[in-house]
A = this chain, B = another copy of it.
Amino acid sequence: MKIALVGIGKIAVDEHVPAISDSPDWELAATVSREGAVDGVEAFTDLGAMLEARPDIRVVSLCLPPVPRFAYAMQAIAAGRHVMLEKPPGATLAECHALERAARAAGLTLYTTWHSRAAEMVGAAKAWLEDKTLTSLTVTWKEDVRRWHPGQSWLWEPGGLGVFDPGINALSIVTEILAEDLHVTQAVLEVPENCQTPIAARVAFCHPGGARAEAVFDWRQQGDQIWEIVAVTESGSLRLADGGARLEIDGTVKGAAAALAGEYPRLYKRMADLVRQGQCDVDLRPMTLVADIFTLGRRERVAPFVESATDAA
């Protein structure tokens, strides 16, 4: 099936293009981007022009930042195209509800992807937890923003989510592997003086079964980068590390892959299945938790964020 990729930035080049190229299901038939392009693929700068010029392309994958995403997604749906959305699926919950209504009304596939859910050991973690009684859950998501998000200034603007851009990946795993849904009871957001979004956060959740559940997110991490979820149950403990790629049960490694390995190929495989079956997959729970954190969170002002020595000079 032919697919068009919209928004040729870092994530598109690093993950989407290789995943599509290696897929037996997909052919990258066009790109839409103001600046980026992919060698050997027809490049458009305007989505409307692509939709009109290429009626043979029935599927559009959007990997531009969340704030402009809605208009592109709605335009593609209005033109009768199936749509796949990078995470988070939009800048607001209400716009995602609107997209889902529009896609379902038109009989089109809408897939709100959560790439971390497709990490190597997430399914095994979910299966292990299924018959256990949870007593505590601890999420630790600490990375160096300068290393992973160079120059992505939109992350610090309203709607960019700050540390919840990676943090929502953790929440997408938590909502996948737990049988019951958490909700936020308390949150503290550390917001740099010169930014609109948090560089770090601590969150406490209510778990219906009474387990203690908390998360810490930090974008100022030096040295080891930590993307880990530890679940202690009445019958052993689980550690899901490397963003879902590594699983340990009671200290014994059950499986390990490179971080991110296989995630995007699995998303594109799933999208192919959804299109063939004429289904939608829209799960807004990770985004709901983030919206709840932004609504309920206490904001503390912290030191300004300066990306590089050059900026500071």
Contacts and interface: CB of A to CB of B under 8 A. Distances in A.
A98 B208 contact: yes
Interface in A151-182: 157-159, 161, 181-182
A219 to B, nearest CB: 18
The complex is assembled from copies of this chain, and their number is 2
Contact of A292 (B157, B291, B299): B291
A45 interface: no
B92 A295 contact: yes
B92 A184 contact: yes
B95 A158 contact: no
A97 interface: yes
Interface in A52-104: 67, 70, 91-95, 97-98
Nearest to A287: B295
A183 interface: yes
A290 interface: yes
A233 to B, nearest CB: 21
A147 interface: no
A129 to B, nearest CB: 19
A296 B294 CA distance: 9
A17 interface: no
Interface string A259-298: 0000000000000000000000000010011111011111
Interface string A198-222: 0000000010100000000000000
A33 interface: no
Given A70-B183, A92-B295, 6 more contacts: A67-B296, A70-B206, A94-B292, A98-B181, A291-B291, A294-B294
24 contacts: A91-B292, A91-B295, A92-B292, A93-B93, A93-B288, A94-B184, A94-B285, A94-B289, A95-B183, A97-B183, A97-B288, A98-B181, A158-B187, A158-B297, A158-B298, A159-B295, A159-B296, A196-B298, A288-B291, A291-B292, A291-B294, A291-B295, A294-B294, A299-B299
